[in-house]
Amino acid sequence: MGILSNLKIRTKVLLALLPLALMVVLATLYATIEMERIDTWYRNLIHQDVLALQSLTTARALNNRFGQLLYEEIAERDLDRMLKLDAELDQTVIAYHAAMEEAMRGSPELAAKIEASRALFDQLVVDSRPIRAAGLRNDNDRAMQLASGTFRPEMLRERQELEALNNESHCSSCKWKSYAW
């Protein structure tokens, strides 16, 4: 006589279904772990794209702020206020570089374009030095002439470059969202 001959039919069925129940529990556990791993990976991916997009948007705002502060410095007559604006211009440059660094960390595939945009901004800062110096000397006519001559077209080109970069970063994050479903 076998070991199962003394058991009732209900117990035999339960013993037969035990491996199936164990497989269901293990499959559920495996699926839960895998879904959590995939969700974490996707969340980190989206977080990086959002970080890059936010940083590029911040850089655009800082670029605009740089231009605004420069024109305020040209228009200002009070020397103390001019020096304060000059210091704010320097702080804006530092904040711009920090935002671009963060954008590169968030979107390494756009690093070359981000670096090119940063180089344009650096050239813009270098070209603003004579304008800032003329403004500090209260030579506003010369400062405005320099600002509208070479600086303004460079500023517009840098803004367009940042806008294109921002759009590219946004499209990159949209691409990943479409893969989610």
Is the pLDDT assigned to residue 95 strictly greater than 90?
yes
Amino acid identity, position 90? D
The model scores a pTM over 0.95: no
- 2, part of any domain: no
CATH number of the domain that residue 15 is part of: 1.20.120
DSSP 8-class letter at 148:
I
- 135, part of any domain: yes
- 127, part of any domain: yes
Q: How far apart are CA 54 and CA 169, in angstroms?
A: 10
Is the pLDDT assigned to residue 154 strictly greater than 90?
no
Q: How far apart are CA 11 and CA 5, in angstroms?
A: 11
- 58, part of any domain: yes
Mean pLDDT computed over 37-49: 83
- 69, part of any domain: yes
DSSP 8-class letter at 108:
G
Is the pLDDT assigned to residue 8 strictly greater than 80?
yes
Our count of domains for the chain comes to 1
- 4, part of any domain: no
For 45, half-sphere exposure in the C-beta direction (CA atoms, 13 angstrom radius) is 15
Domain limits for position 16: 9-180
Q: How far apart are CA 150 and CA 103, in angstroms?
A: 28
Is the pLDDT assigned to residue 2 strictly greater than 70?
no
Q: What is the pLDDT of residue 181?
A: 44
- 3, part of any domain: no
- 13, part of any domain: yes
Residue 85's contacts (CB-CB under 8 Å, 6 or more residues apart) are 69, 72, 73, 76
